[in-house]
Amino acid sequence: ELQVEPLTPADGRRIADLIERYADLGLSGTDASLIAIAERLGATRIATLDRRHFGTVRPRHAAAFELVP
pLDDT at residue 12, as a whole number: 98
Closest CA to 30 of 58, 62, 38: 38
* 19-65 pLDDT, tens digit each: 999 999 999 999 999 999 999 999 999 999 999 999 999 999 999 99
Rounded CA gap, 24 and 27, in Å? 8
Check: pTM over 0.85? Answer yes or no.
yes
pLDDT at 2 over 90: no
Strand partners, 46: 67
pLDDT at residue 1, as a whole number: 87
Rounded to a whole number of angstroms, the distance between the first and last alpha carbons of the chain is 17
